[in-house]
Amino acid sequence: MKVPAEPQSAEPQSAKTGRRPRKKLHIVQLIPNFMTVAALCAGLTAVRFAIEGRFGLAVALIIAAAVMDGLDGRLARFLKSESDMGAELDSLCDLVNFGVAPALITYLWALQGMRAEGWIACLIYAVACLLRLARFNIGNRQPDNDSNSFQGVPSPAGALLVMLPMFLAFALGDGAPHATGLVALWMALVGALMVGRFRTPSFKRATIYAENVSFVLLTFVALVAALLTYPWITLALVDCAYLAALGYTFIKKPRKAVEDATPEA
């Protein structure tokens, strides 16, 4: 006697095997993650060039990492490929590119002769960058997060600020470090600025009038030309301009105490 065949289950194969359905992604959607990893490679290679004494290339790679860091998140939003994995990658790479790498580059340039004091300054700066990124990640999860400003100096800006003594040394002389004690003190001070509670300007949502686009483009061209022609002087001036902006923001928007919200009686 012929046994009737059992009816096939309408459940998907993944339900039978206990596996999750496989999700397909377009290769284009991985470009932001490619940029994040490329920025990490740039930061690590910057340390290698600093070990070889090629500080110009080391600084150039840190700047390249900062540019890629500024673009990968926007590109992920544009391609609708944002993910928790990408956010974690970005934060971890920022710690290496703007915390560890600049500290090591500055140490190799000026602080090796100080031994303990110079290394302590490096540790202070790197740990400050770690705390700054951790606080930033927590703040991003808050529903009332203010995206128009930062709290404390952001890590890419901190990386450029901490190398200001190097920029000045190459712009005004042969690049030899002077007053290494002040360099170490400056590194610790920049670390304090990164974990500070004061508000710093953010240009994420900066807007301009349409009729001023030409002036902005010309300013950008002038900045790129200056970086290519007089890199050290330009970087030093950019740092000084940012410090002036910090001072102006601090005066206009004094430090606000951060207090835990208490329920109304």
Answer whether residue 113 is part of any domain.
Answer: yes
How many Å apart are CA 72 and CA 88, to the nearest integer? Answer: 13
Domain containing 132: what range?
A: 26-252
Exposure class string for 18-51: b at 16+ Cβ within 10 A, else e? eeeeeeeeeeebebbbebbeebbebbbbbbebbe
Amino acid at 223: L
Q: How many domains does the chain have?
A: 1
Answer whether residue 262 is part of any domain.
Answer: no
How many Å apart are CA 186 and CA 177, to the nearest integer? Answer: 13
Token representation of residue 204: 């994420």
Exposure class string for 241-264: b at 16+ Cβ within 10 A, else e? ebeeebeebeeeeeeeeeeeeeee
Token representation of residue 67: 């540019």
- Kindly report the pTM of this predicted structure: 0.81
Answer whether residue 202 is part of any domain.
Answer: yes
Answer whether residue 66 is part of any domain.
Answer: yes
Token representation of residue 72: 């990968």
Answer whether residue 52 is part of any domain.
Answer: yes
Answer whether residue 6 is part of any domain.
Answer: no
Return per-residue pLDDT of the chain as tens, 265 residues: 444 555 554 445 555 556 667 666 677 777 888 899 999 999 999 999 999 999 999 999 999 999 999 888 888 787 777 777 777 888 899 999 999 999 999 999 999 888 789 999 999 999 999 999 998 888 766 666 555 667 889 999 999 999 999 999 999 988 889 889 999 999 999 999 999 888 887 776 677 788 888 888 999 999 999 999 999 999 999 999 999 988 887 777 654 444 444 343 3
Backbone φ and ψ for 222, nearest 5 degrees, come out as -65, -40
Answer whether residue 89 is part of any domain.
Answer: yes
Give the count of beta carbons closer than 10 Å to the beta carbon of residue 180: 18
CATH code at position 101: 1.20.120.1760
Answer whether residue 19 is part of any domain.
Answer: no
How many Å apart are CA 163 and CA 108, to the nearest integer? Answer: 12
